[in-house]
Amino acid sequence: MLRTPADDGFSMPAEWALHKGCFISWPCSEETWSGHIAEARRAYSEVIKAINRFEPVTVLSDPSTTAGARSAVGPDIKITEMPLDDAWIRDNGPNFVCSEDNEVAAACFAFNGWGGRFPHAKDARVPLSLAKALHIRRYETPMVLEGGSISVDGEGTLLTTESCLLNKNRNPLLSKEEIERILGSYLGVKKVLWLKQGIHKSMIDGHVDGVAAFVRPSTVLLAQHDDRSNPNHLGMKENKAILSTCTDAKGRAIEVIDFPMPDHTELAGQRIAACYPNFYFANGGIVLPVFGEEKDRVAMEILEGLFPGREVVGVRSEYIAIGGGDVHCITQQLPSGKPAPP
């Protein structure tokens, strides 16, 4: 039997733990951006610059776009060439795990283009390619999983949605119990909490990072929409009811903090996936997607109250959202630590 990360004492740390840096893939697929790839690239550049204030960013670039990426991000950002289909490293990249000895390894889940919806042959090779480039141990994982579909507290609890992980376009032969066992073996979690759904009619089946995020152990920031006519209103209320009955891996009740949902749903005639929980924890900061509406300030104030020691930076993200995600979706943190030997 192959050894798993849990066998070797590894588990997935919380995103607010110290990072060595951040990876962001550069947009390369014209089809993704509905004619707005130039605007998307400018938005990506702003996210890169914001995060790089707090920790080093490495841009992964398909060879066909490296010259443009270099011109956009400037000479101080490291660029690593890697064949890519798209620019969503949270979903197609490795999930990094850490040991008590402060070693870092990569859990390399399979990637199938969000249920076979989009080209993914190149992106599916990124986890192993990036792990090799980092010279760290890699664990190939017998399950399709996107990083945006999970949130962990770093103390054994994982939050996800049934709408994504139980969708038959991901792992049709795996039961809910088998999925929980694999998550335990490869991410070191002890308990999985299941919300019903993510954003209504999400093109990627409702990732949890569109609606919820752990912000500390036993505490979840959860999207809510107070407009009863909004299609997300009832679904988010159901998610809250579920969490109100949950305990975490250590037996603690889950504290739920309401977080707004943006009113922005369209841009230039295109539906967009605008969401505030899709932020990035950086070392000493938080980079929050904003959309030019009054709720931006509400979301920033909630985060500033929760994290008085972190600077909250808002970055306009509607042209990222037109591609199907926001700040969290385009980032992947590398935890601080020494490489676990391959």
As annotated, the active-site residues are: 329
Q: Single out the residue of 141, 56, 62 nearest to residue 96, CA to CA.
A: 141
Read off φ and ψ for residue 292, nearest 5 degrees: 75, 35
Where does residue 131 rank: exposed (0-12), middle (13-18), buried (19+ CB within 10 A)? buried
Strand partners of residue 51: none
Position of tokens 């390894």?
A: 105
User: Cα 273–299–95 angle (5° rounding)?
Assistant: 60
- If 0-12 CB within 10 Å is exposed, 13-18 middle and 19+ buried, where does residue 113 land? buried
Of 337, 340, 323, 267, residue with least CA distance to 40: 323
| Distance separating alpha carbons of residues 334 and 97, to the nearest angstrom | 9
Q: Element (H or E) spanning 285, and its range?
A: strand 285-290
Distance of alpha carbon 119 from alpha carbon 216, whole angstroms? 35
Q: HSE-up of 236 (CA within 13 Å, CB side)?
A: 25
Compute the distance between CA of residue 197 and CA of residue 232 in angstroms, rounded to an integer.
10
Q: Is 229 exposed, middle or buried (0-12, 13-18, 19+ CB in 10 A)?
A: exposed
The C-alpha atoms of residue 25 and residue 23 are separated, in whole angstroms, by: 7
